[in-house]
């Protein structure tokens, strides 16, 4: 029984290697946040619009109300709300949160 040489196998496989590599790269390079940023934050707020502190959010959007985003239910809390700044979440500008589909979750 005769086996093909390694060179013959590599030459046969070469046209497929770049296609497979580019498919992996493009799938990995677009995160949900990056996609959101490209769409103008119309389907959610990207990471550059979410902040760990209210001061950082205020620097990003001076004059806007800083809200506390909570969970994945597209809810935000206004300053003065009992759970504002507590638990898992991030700060954002109210106008950006509104345009991204978030809504006021009450006080």
What pLDDT, in 10s, does the model give residues 37-77? 554 444 467 778 899 999 999 999 999 999 999 876 889 99
Domain span including residue 40: 6-104
Would residue 73 count as lying in a domain? Answer: yes
pTM here is: 0.59
Q: Which three-class secondary structure state does DSSP give residue 73?
A: coil
| 77 falls within a domain | yes
CA 46 – CA 40 distance, rounded (Å): 9
Residue 5 — very low, low, confident or very high, per pLDDT cuts 50/70/90?
low
Q: Is residue 50 part of a domain?
A: yes
- Domain tally for the chain? 1
Q: Is residue 1 part of a domain?
A: no
């Amino acid at each position: 029984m005769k086996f093909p040489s390694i060179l013959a196998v590599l030459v046969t496989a070469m046209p497929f290697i770049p296609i497979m590599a580019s498919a992996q790269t493009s799938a990995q390079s677009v995160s949900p946040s990056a996609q959101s940023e490209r769409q103008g934050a119309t389907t959610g707020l990207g990471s550059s619009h979410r902040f760990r502190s209210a001061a950082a959010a205020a620097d990003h959007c001076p004059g806007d109300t800083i809200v506390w985003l909570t969970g994945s239910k597209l809810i935000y809390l206004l300053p003065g709300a009992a759970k504002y700044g507590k638990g898992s979440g991030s700060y954002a500008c109210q106008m950006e949160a509104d345009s991204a589909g978030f809504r006021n979750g009450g006080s």
